[in-house]
Structure 1
Amino acid sequence: MHAIAFALTLLLLSAPALAAGPPPAATPAAPPPLRCAEDGEGGACVWGRAEGFDAGALQVRGLHIALAGITAPGRKDLCGSKSARDEFDCARPARKRMGELLSKGVACEIVDVASGQLWGRCKVADGDLGRLLVAGGLARAAKDGPYAEAQKQAIAARRGLWAADMVLPRDWETARRKAEDED
């Protein structure tokens, strides 16, 4: 009797389903890719992975789209640090953050075409790309644009371009003074 029980135990333990242990934990489903919302007015929208980007623009599906509502520093704009007394490319922090934000895809609604340039409002997994850049102090809100409040918060918190230690190019310094005067 013991021999039968022993053989049955060996048979059960050698079965692949039982020997493999418990099934692996289910992996969380990946979030759906960003897509454009349906637009009843026939607006244009493009989505997918960013093929390239700079501080205030990106390329998706071969289209170069400038972010509407923001002004980002250019590669030739040099910022400085009061404590380190050195200069650096003002757009570098914005490009770094855009790379992080664009890693999960982007959906851009084209809001204007002017002089051959597409202007869009883009969404990433974390929200509105322009708002995120302005709120992080990495870009300036365009005059009469939708991100004025986000810029006020960045200035008040002294984030990014508005940090106390930051020395901005002359035109950016003028923008900082004007924004502070409006408060």
Structure 2
Amino acid sequence: MRNLYPALAALLLFNTPGIAEPLRGTATVIDGDTLEIHGAQIRLYGIDAPERGQLCGDARERDYPCGRRAAQALIQKVAGAAVTCEPKSTTANKRVYAICRVGETDLGAWMVRSGLALANRHVSRRYLPQEERAWGAKTGLWAGVFEMPWEWRKQQTAKPTHKTASADAPVTGAISSPSAPVADTQ
């Protein structure tokens, strides 16, 4: 029961109208732009990081797991530190967006300046200067090729849910000639 109190406090904090008190504590990193403090998931306001399963190309166009790299960098940045998050907005589905800091370091600004995340123009222009600096210095994502995280997510949701064979998979079963009609077995 004692373990429920921090989660309940966080829930009340973010669901009570008019309360925008900062949330402080040790953070767990969910991915490159999401933290959890006292059971509340908090999205870093104004940024968008590659997803955990997303691959990017480095300067030599070799694939690397850019989403996991972003999450790992954030894990190292918040490791053992007290994180303070100031809520900026809450969506209809209760997703909290906040500016989070370790000491004086704005985690969103740090992620974008390091080339580990992008400024989310759909939400705010706050981190565009950091993104321009990362782009100019060819830092992180900007050193190679990558797909915008929002475009990558859109493609993932558009993929068919049924399994399809790869082009290299052996063909098995009864084969009819290309011109022969195929019977519908369903």
Q: Structure 1 residues 154, 54: CA separation in 2 closer, same or farther (over 3 Å shift)?
A: same
1:98 to 74, 80, 87: 74
Cα distance in 1 for partners of 2:47, 2:118 equals: 6
Counterpart for residue 6 of structure 1 = none
2:63 counterpart of 1:87: yes
2:64 counterpart of 1:64: no
**Residue segments in structure 1 that go unaligned for 5+ positions in a row:** 1-40, 174-183
**Residue segments in structure 2 that go unaligned for 5+ positions in a row:** 1-17, 152-186
Report the structure number with the largest CA radius of gyration: 1
Cα distance in 2 for partners of 1:170, 1:146 equals: 18
Counterpart for residue 53 of structure 2 = 76
1:100 Cα offset (Å) = 1.6
2:128 counterpart of 1:148: yes
Cα distance in 2 for partners of 1:149, 1:77 equals: 25
Cα distance in 2 for partners of 1:61, 1:138 equals: 25
Given the two structures, how large is their TM-score scaled by the length of structure 1?
0.65
Given the two structures, how large is their TM-score scaled by the length of structure 2?
0.64
Cα distance in 2 for partners of 1:61, 1:171 equals: 27
Q: Percent identity?
A: 32
Q: CA RMSD in A?
A: 2.1
- The number of aligned residues is 130
1:92 Cα offset (Å) = 2.1
1:81 Cα offset (Å) = 2.8
Runs of 4+ aligned residues of structure 1 deviating over 3 Å after TM superposition are 170-173
**CA deviation string 1:141-174 (max 9, x = no partner):** 01142111011111111100101xx12126689x
